[in-house]
Amino acid sequence: MHFVLEQYAAFSKCLFVLSIRILLLVPAGFLVHSQGDYRSNNKVMDNITVRQGEAVFLR
C-alpha cells in the first residue's frame, strides 16, 4: 500500500511540473506586424493566436 502511495505522489509531482513547463513554453499568441505597408516605420503590433496544426507565414 505504501508503494502505491509513493508511485501516486511521484506521478502527481511529475504531471504538475510537466503542465507548468507546457504553460510557460506555449505562448497565447505571437506579435506580428499590422496589415499594411511593411516598409513603413509603423511599430504597431497585433496579437494573434495560432492553433496547433495551422500554418503561419511571418514576414
Buried b (16+ CB within 10 A) or exposed e, 27-46: eeeeeeeeeeeeeeeeeeee
> Is 27 among the domain residues?
yes
Query: Which residues span the domain enclosing 19?
Result: 2-48
For the chain, the domain total comes to 1
> Is 25 among the domain residues?
yes
Its pTM stands at 0.36
- pLDDT by residue (tens digit) across 5-59? 788 888 888 899 888 877 777 665 666 655 555 555 555 666 777 788 888 777 6
Q: What share of the chain is helix, strand, coil (3-state, %, to 5)?
A: 40, 15, 45
Residue 30 half-sphere exposure toward CB, CA atoms < 13 A: 10
